[in-house]
A = this chain, B = another copy of it.
Amino acid sequence: MEKTETEFLQRIIASPADEKCPIRKSLDLFSSKWRTWVLFELCKQPTYRFGELRKAIPPITNTMLTKTLRELEAIGIIQRKQFNEMPLRVEYSLTESGHALTPVFFEIAKWADQYLPTEN
């Protein structure tokens, strides 16, 4: 346990200071309200239709949901599957690398339990 703590600190300290730092590049990828929210929802359920995501994320608009889904798809962490039925059906789900992000959410959850300010 203590060893792990030390290890990751070493890892962070040793990370390159320039824009090539993989940790910082990853942080940038997910430093967006809509991206994290969409990913968080996609963790809950194997597949979502476009309309389901809109309902799950009430404040999001068509435009932003589409934009966010395209971005996450381009990064390769979600996949879009279109069924040419009538009416049209599209299903979104996490890819393997998307699933691999769940431990990040778990650590956030643990932190929230202990430290999240509860004033609101």
Query: Residues of A with Cβ closer than 8 Å to B?
Result: 4-5, 8-9, 11-13, 15, 17, 22-28, 30-33, 35-37, 40, 43-45, 56, 75-77, 96-97, 100-117
Contact call A25/B107, Cβ cutoff below 8 A: no
Chain A residues touching B, majority SS: helix
The oligomer's copy count stands at 2
Are B112 and A25 interface neighbours, CB within 8 A?
Answer: yes
B101 contacts A111, CB within 8 Å?
Answer: yes
Kindly state the separation between the CA atoms of A30 and B30 in the bound complex, as whole angstroms.
Answer: 9
Q: Which of B4, B28, B107, B116 contacts A104 (CB 8 A)?
A: B107
In the complex, what's the smallest C-beta–C-beta distance from A79 to chain B, in angstroms?
14
Q: How far is the CA of A9 from the CA of B96 in the complex (A)?
A: 15
